[in-house]
Amino acid sequence: MPAPRRLLLLLLAPPLLLLASPPPALGAPGQGAGTWARFARLPYPEDELFLHDTFPDGFLWGAGSAAYQSEGAWRQDGKGASVWDGWAAPGGDVASDSYNNQFRDAEGLRRLGLRHYRFSLAWARLLPNGTGAPSAAGLEHYARLLRRLRARGVEPVVTLYHWDLPRALQRALGGWASPALPDLFRAYAELCFRHFGAHVRYWLTMDNPYVVAWHGYATGRLPPGVRGGAAMGYRAARHLLQAHAKVWHLYNDHFRPTQGGEVSIALSSHWIKPQYMSEQNIKECQKSLDFVLGWFAKPIFIDGDYPESMKSNLSSLLPEFSEAEKKYIKGTADFFALSFGATLSFQLLDSHMKFQQVESLSLRQLLFWINSEYNHPKIFIVENSWFVSGSTKRDDAKYMYYLKKFIMETLKAIRYDGIDVFGYTVWSLMDGFEWHRGYSIRRGLYYVDFESHDKKFMPKSSALFYQKLIEKNGFPPLPENQPIAGMFPCNFAWGIVDNYIQVDITPSQFLDPNVYLWDVHQTKKLIKVDGILAPKRKRHCVDFAAIRLQISLLQETHVTHFHFSLKWSLILPLGNLSLINHTLLHYYQCFVSELLRVNITPVVALWQPMAENQGLPLSLAKYGAWENTETIQAFVEYARLCFKNLGHRVKFWITMNEPYVRNLTYTAGHNLLKAHAKAWHLYDKEFRRSQKGKISIALQADWAEPACPFSKNDQEVADRLLEFDIGWLAEPIFGNGDYPRVMREWLHQRNSVDLYNFHLPYFSEEEKKLIQGSYDFFALSHYTTILVDWEKEDPLKYDHYLEVQMINDITWLNSPSRTAVVPWGLRKLLKWIKSKYGDVPIYIVANGIDDDQNVVHDKLRIYYIQNYINEVLKAYTLDNVNVQGYFVYSFNDRTAPKYGLYRYVANQYEPKPSMKHYREIIDNNGFPSPETPERWCPEELALCPECSFFRTRKSLLAFISFIFFAFIVTIFFIIYHSRRDERRYK
């Protein structure tokens, strides 16, 4: 296959690779154990990429709530008490007050475009004592709700029992510990089927029986709070299973023929992954799922009995089912109703049920396990989401991105794994009482102001996100997400960056003037002869073996440019010209000369911050570093020295490379800007005419994206962060000569409110003129994109100074160091720079990602380079951004571990696959399509003073060579014929 076509197919490959994977094998008990190995084999990073696709037609999108969490009105209209009433103050006494706000809730469903609404009936509202005569008010309440839903085209999904057992049944009988409960539950269900069944297509008998049995009757963590130990918990579970089976058979025998609905049970589960991929650990993971989900799922979906792992470990505690009971329980579900999320995972799962394995949030793998373990049931996700802090109001970014992750995993399960998922339910429609967490967290799509009298009800960012997703039925491919074909201009700079080149100034053995004798008879060593010295020869650049090796490696990559930084602290150890390391300067001269000899343009930075003394000479670092104005003049003197000694070979200068602004004081940044400007003017006035180079500053520029795209507050936060991170140094140089207005206004506000003294210095008019326009191009380093939010959610990721909350989009691909791979962020950054600073030439002088050094094929870096460069091509082609170069970070793992295109092992450099891939892109000058006409680019020669004589006189040299060759041939024939004549004469 031609290389250009291969490059383009790589961009389009992920969906194709995964859709081609074989369907899962026929499910059976124990088949789920293959899940972990199967997902460990999936192609990386393709399997982890975001899938742009849609859900099947008719997919059921919905939201849910539970009666005790949302209804309130705990004593209104004759409602009886449940085991939760009085458990925790204020509990669900009022909650979201949904009992008195049916119209509000129904309109909220309509506005989001939901197709179904899962809610629960309050047993004690219909039967105040759990049995006996029903409440007319309760019956009318739910009948009215069902009519409202049907009028809006919303499918009801009704749960008969969601944890709120009537208190009277607990006190009189002992609740689910009593064998009388299954029959009472059947009677309650019959009442519901008779009154509401004509309007209900999907019934759920109960929610999460694991929590009810284990934490209600074994640990006592939740109401009714019985601490009966494991035996009591397993007894309660037995009765819950019997109750469910009785209700299913009741509906199947008496109501299904006329009502045509379906009945199941909402089972909750966690997901678990092995600490290490060993057979024993996988068995422990399987056991963990058996003890939580399989406890109820296997009897219902397989054979009416508990999982073998439970029976073998709990033989004395686990109640047995008779054969008749097994037969009665088996098959009592019309679909698999799954609950997955915050309630069980990480909160209500006892640690000993993890069996020393690691809990995880992979919904997709759980769906695959269920499909394999329980004979391919059709699956309805009836509860799923995460949570945010109770103080978070409407911009619930964290919740929104968890929602995005779970829905994405559901889509992959459908499209990649062939799982039959037909519906998805966000939990919950509105904020409410969150069980054991009370009001400390929120899980609603709608914000409820619990302090307001009418329980003010407002959509959150997650609601708007979900609404858009439902409109599109998923994540359809968008033009901006598609890779493009095309080529960069002929003079595009393809480069590699290495912060600091390997410096080895050890002289070659050929420079040693001493004479040696080889003692071949005794010591077998060289013996120095005293008093005799050979003539000294001039030192040559080829004497440095380290240079030869680095140059040969760079030649292999086919790059046109190489970017590295000089070490100020080594060139001027005392920080001034009183002591100059001429040997090191000569080494740098040799290095750039050798680069030019092989036609690679050197891009040289004068200073780059580093951990030791900020990369400054010790004498400057000790006395304030960039805080000290004397450092400005010291930098200018150092720059002059470098321009004099290297400028005839270096035509591409960077004054400061990646000054990290988050470690800079405002005074240090002020002086740094003045130092840059003075160095730029020095070059412009004294060296540019003779050396004909260009010079600028290189800024670190990661993109900041509003976490909630619908939030003006988040947009303001993103704009503020960009100005502080990039604009702080960019605006004075590329803009108006002064700091960004946003910075001054924000600091003025903070100083007046917080009694801080964040002093941003002022430039004089003369200094503004000095700094403004001190550039020839815009150089930037870009590695990732961050999401920012204004709502404080996670204190560890909150910047109090700028009032910025950092958020993770957990659907993004991440490197081993948790750096997000977000190619489109680079394109947005380039457009932002153009919008602010005009059509300035832009060079991306560093762009790279870390990868696992143990991975032979560095696939993540290949994906990163391919897609980031394609976004640069979009910016150049579609947005008309004046991008003139791209440099990969970094050259090798020796100087930048885990980032290199070359691996460094046992003193040897080995090219990684990513290097070869980058070289292929360079050779194609981008991503030409098969239809792209071939374009010939003339080779541009790097300027080399030592080479210029020969390069500019190639024709003359060729002519002289021809004359010389003709002369030699003529002499040869003359001699040959002369000797022949002599022999004749003789």
pTM over 0.85: yes
User: Which of 454, 311, 527, 372 is CA-nearest to residue 32?
Assistant: 372
Phi and psi at residue 893, to the nearest 5°: -75, -15
pLDDT on residue 275: 95
Inter-residue long-range contacts of 258-261, CB under 8 Å, 24+ positions, other chains counted: 259/193, 259/197, 259/198, 259/200, 260/201, 261/197, 261/200, 261/201, 261/202, 261/203
Q: In this structure, what token pair is assigned to residue 125?
A: 């509202």
Give the phi and the psi of residue 641 in degrees, each rounded to 5: -60, -45
In total, the chain counts a number of residues equal to 986
Q: What is the pLDDT of residue 101?
A: 96
Residue-wise pLDDT for 602-622, tens only, equals 999 999 999 889 999 999 999
What's the DSSP call for residue 939? P
CA distance 433 to 375: 36
Pairwise CA distance, residues 661 & 740, whole Å: 14
d(CA 464, CA 454): 23
Strand (E) positions, 924-975?
926-927
What was the pLDDT predicted at 931?
Answer: 81
In terms of phi and psi (left: phi > 0; alpha: psi -120 to 50; beta: otherwise), the region of 108 is alpha
Extract the residue ranges of the chain whose pLDDT is less than 50: 2, 4-10, 12-26, 945-952, 985-986
pLDDT of residue 351: 85
What domains are defined for the chain? 35-474 (3.20.20.80), 493-506+542-712+777-927 (3.20.20.80)
Structure tokens at 664: 């800079």
Q: Are 425 and 407 in contact (CB under 8 A)?
A: no
- Cα gap 438→69, rounded to integer Å: 9
In this predicted structure, what is the pLDDT of residue 15?
44
The owner of tokens 């003789």 is 986
pLDDT value of residue 9: 45
Please tell me whether the peptide bond between 476 and the residue prior to it is cis, using omega within 30 degrees of 0: no
pLDDT confidence of residue 976: 63
What lies within 8 Å, CB to CB, of 779 at 6+ separation is 654, 696, 697, 698, 699, 842, 843, 845
Nearest to 588 by CA among 650, 539, 652: 650
Which residues, other chains included, contact 95 with Cβ-Cβ below 8 Å and sequence gap of 6+? 68, 69, 70, 71, 72, 432, 433
Label residues 499-527 b or e (16+ Cβ within 10 Å = b): bbbeeeeeeeeeeeeeeeeeeeeeeeeee
| pLDDT tens per residue, range 919-978 | 999 999 999 988 877 767 776 555 554 444 444 455 555 666 667 666 676 776 667 666
Q: Report how far residue 803's alpha carbon sits from residue 188's, in angstroms, rounded to the nearest whole number.
A: 53
Report the alpha-carbon distance of residue 495 to residue 922 in Å, rounded: 9
